[in-house]
Amino acid sequence: MKDVSEGYDRHHVRLLSTARQINSHWCKWATENVTFLAPCQAVAGEEMGEKILKTFPNVQGLKLTNWVRYGHRGLDTWLRMDCLRHLELRECDYIRDEDLACLGACSNLTFLDLAECSCITGVFLGHLSTLYGLQHLNLSGSSMSTFNRLPFLSTLTFLGLNCCGNFSDVGLEEVGKMASLTKLDLGGCAKLYGRGLSHLTTLSALSHLNLDSCDMIGSVYLGYLAKFTALAYASFNRCKQLPDEVLGHLADLTSLTCLSLRNCDSLSDVGFMCLGTMTPLTYLNLGCCKKITDLGLCCLDSLTSLSYLSLCGCEQITNASVARLSNMASLVHLDLFGCKQITDVGMAHLCSPSLPLMHLDLSHCVGITDVGLKSIAKLTALTRLNLHCCRGITQVGLGCLREVNALRVVELFGCSGLSHKVVNDLPNVRFMQW
């Protein structure tokens, strides 16, 4: 009972709600065990806040997401909790810098989420000078432009600035002084030109960096990436002007295990050939990199630790690239959505009982027919298969999948060669999207 009560999920809430209705002893036990509250907007008033907080004195976490209609009214009442460590105020559009002055009294706060509070700027940070233990600060979607140098910022391990349209390279100078930072989200900061990346090289613990949609970063500054020696996760999704040189810089990072380059239209085979030296990679997303061909993927077979690979929308790759994946002993997720040159021949090369593939997406691979499904049936670990709009498959080919005992989900939308009788042909499948 104690173990169940320590969670924050819906089962935890249901247990405590039921316990409070049994008798006074159970009610007291349940009330004292409530450590996280997510009240609805209907109880946002000051008077109701006082009543609730008196009832549940041990609350450590509070979620006040989307209190748009109420603005800051009664917020100071809700924050009069000595034990408060976790606070979420996401999407509170009416909250302004001056409304957050009450946060200064929450001296035990370690987690603060103000994402999508679009009216706040860096001014409110002056109210937080007492939060010496703050570790998680999410300001994504706010009007932040820079930081004041405050002692509490040195304890941060996560900083979220996603889609902060006013944040620029000037602000990165202060970010570079946050010595404990391990995760930094700068995705969608359109005013970043790259000069500020030099300040981040002092962050020796930085392991996660998100630069999604940062199109304006100049190639001359990307060389600083090679100095992020602890970097394990890097994301450059939708960086349309990213040069091939960036992959050369990342190839020097021996700690890099996750790399996402989805929709990086400017990258070519010249850059992708550097992937072969990134042997620690376990996650690689190259979805919709339109210029990539078999030549750029010639080194894929050296990435023996890879467990996730997305080549979604890479229309120029052929069966030759797929054949190189057959010896990947760790590959469990493969996305080939829209790879129209992949055919049954590629499946014959790829599929073997030794391949641990669990999730395979072949949506819109129009060259896949019943022959290819016969090869896929050799994937004994396969649990999920997506065949959307593979019009070349029929009832006969799908019947081969009965041999895959682990298969639980098959998606067949737009497979015009099939009839509804197929449901009875795959008794092990629990979910089939038609």
CB 253 within 8 A of CB 277: no
pLDDT confidence of residue 30: 61
pLDDT confidence of residue 46: 58
Per CATH, domain 331-434 is 3.80.10.10: yes
Distances (CA, A) of 29 to 17, 21, 62, 274, 376: 11, 11, 20, 59, 54
Q: Enumerate the domain spans of the chain.
A: 1-34, 331-434
Distance CA 39, CA 58 (A): 15
Distance CA 189, CA 216 (A): 9
Instruction: Give ∠ CA 253-254-258 in degrees, rounded to 5.
Output: 80
pLDDT confidence of residue 28: 63
Look at the chain and count its residues. Answer: 434
Q: Between β-strands 136-138 and 111-113, what pairing exists: parallel, antiparallel or unpaired? A: parallel
Q: What is the pLDDT of residues 373-415, one digit of tens each?
A: 999 999 999 999 999 999 999 989 988 999 899 999 999 998 8
Distance CA 378, CA 373 (A): 9
Ranges of residues in the chain whose predicted pLDDT is under 50:
1-13, 15-16, 19-21, 68-71
pLDDT confidence of residue 266: 95
Distances (CA, A) of 419 to 269, 371, 398, 424: 42, 18, 11, 11
Tokens representing 360 are: 């395979």
Tokens representing 371 are: 């022959």
pLDDT confidence of residue 376: 97
Q: What 3 state SS string does the chain have?
A: CHHHHCCCCHHHHHHHHHHCCCCHHHHHHHHHHCCEECCCHHHCCHHHHHHHHHHCCCCCEEECCCCHHHCCCCHHHHCCCCCCCEEECCCCCCCCHHHHHHHHHCCCCCEEECCCCCCCCHHHHHHHCCCCCCCEEECCCCCCCCCCCCHHHHHCCEEECCCCCCCEHHHHHHHCCCCCCCEEECCCCCECCCCCHHHHCCCCCCCEEECCCCCCCCHHHHHHHHHCCCCCEEECCCCCCCCCHHHHHHCCCCCCCEEECCCCCCCCHHHHHHHHHCCCCCEEECCCCCCCCCCCCCCHHHCCCCCEEECCCCCCCCHHHHHCCCCCCCCCEEECCCCCCCEHHHHHHHCCCCCCCCEEECCCCCECCHHHHHHHCCCCCCCEEECCCCCCCCHHHHHHHHHCCCCCEEECCCCCCCCCCHHHHCCCCCEEEC
CB 409 within 8 A of CB 385: yes
Distances (CA, A) of 81 to 108, 127, 283, 427, 430: 10, 17, 42, 54, 47
Distance CA 129, CA 142 (A): 20
CB 373 within 8 A of CB 351: no
pLDDT confidence of residue 16: 45
pLDDT confidence of residue 121: 87
Distance CA 417, CA 395 (A): 8
Q: What is the pLDDT of residues 27-60, one digit of tens each?
A: 665 667 778 888 765 555 556 667 777 778 788 8
